[in-house]
A and B are shown apart, each in its own frame.
Chain A
Amino acid sequence: MSESKTADLTSVAMTPRRNSRMGDTLAYWMPKLVLSPTLIIVLVFFYGFILWTGYLSFTNSRMLPSYDFVGWANYVRLFNNERWFVSLRNLAVYSVLFIVICLAIGLSLAILLDQKIRAEGALRTIYLYPMALSFIVTGTVWKWMLNPQVGIEQFVRSLGWETFRFDWLVDPNFSIYTIVVAAVWQSSGFVMALFLAGLRGVDDSIIKAAQIDGASRFMIYTRIIIPSLRPVFFSAFVMLAHIAIKSFDLALALTGGGPGVSSDLPAIFMYQMSFTRNQMGLGAASAMIMLLTVVAILVPYLYSELRTKKHEH
Chain B
Amino acid sequence: MNTNPNRRYADITGRALLYAALGIMAIYYLLPLALMIVTSFRSMDEIRMGQLIDWPTQLNLDAWRIAWSEAQIGARSERGLQPYFINSMLITLPAVAISTLIGAVNGYVLSFWRFRGSNLFFGLLLFGCFLPFQAILLPHANVLGRMGISGSITGLIFTHVVYGLAFTTLFFRNYYVTLPGELIKAAQLDGAGFWRIFWRIILPLSTPILTVCVIWQFTQVWNDFLFGVTFSDPSSQPVTVGLNNLVNSSTGERRYNVDMAGAIIAALPTLLVYVIAGKYFVRGLTAGSVKG
Contacts and interface: CB of A to CB of B under 8 A. Distances in A.
Given A3-B116, A31-B109, A12 B188 contact: yes
Nearest to A269: B134
B257 to A, nearest CB: 10
Contact of B136 (A49, A143, A242, A298): A49
A131 B285 contact: yes
Contact of B113 (A17, A31, A134): A31
Contact of B51 (A45, A155, A194, A242): A155
Interface in A197-243: 197-198, 232, 235-236, 238-239, 242
Interface of B is mostly: helix
B95 to A, nearest CB: 14
Given A197-B290, A198-B290, 14 more contacts: A2-B119, A34-B194, A42-B124, A46-B125, A49-B136, A112-B21, A125-B275, A134-B222, A134-B224, A137-B240, A197-B286, A267-B132, A270-B137, A274-B137
Contacts of A13: 188
A11 to B, nearest CB: 10
Nearest to B230: A275
Most buried by B among A137, A152, A239: A137
21 contacts: A6-B113, A9-B112, A9-B188, A38-B102, A39-B121, A49-B140, A50-B136, A56-B139, A117-B19, A125-B275, A130-B29, A131-B285, A133-B271, A136-B266, A141-B36, A143-B247, A197-B290, A252-B244, A290-B132, A291-B134, A298-B127
Interface stretch (A81-89, A92-100, A168-176, A280-288): A280-288
Given A141-B35, A294-B130, A112 B270 contact: no
A125 B140 contact: no
B18 A117 contact: yes
B138 A194 contact: no
B188 A274 contact: no
Contacts of B16: none
Interface residues of B, number: 94
B52 A154 contact: yes
Nearest to A1: B114
Contacts of B106: 34-35, 38
Given A45-B162, A141-B35, A193-B285, A235 B290 contact: yes
Contact of B225 (A128, A135, A236): A135
B234 interface: no
Contacts of B115: 2-3, 6, 31-32
A65 interface: yes
A249 B137 CA distance: 15
Contacts of A41: 162, 165
Given A41-B165, A236-B289, A248 B282 contact: no
Contacts of B19: 117
Nearest to A15: B189
Nearest to B259: A140
B179 interface: no
A155 B125 contact: no
A31 B142 CA distance: 31
A136 B240 contact: yes
Given A132-B271, A132-B273, A287-B137, A239 B288 contact: yes
B208 interface: no
A288 B115 CA distance: 33
A170 to B, nearest CB: 14
Interface in A108-158: 109, 112-113, 115, 117, 123-145, 150-152, 154-155, 158
A41 B159 CA distance: 11
A137 B109 contact: no
B105 A34 contact: yes
Nearest to A28: B115
Nearest to A245: B132
A155 B31 CA distance: 14
A132 B102 contact: no
B203 interface: no
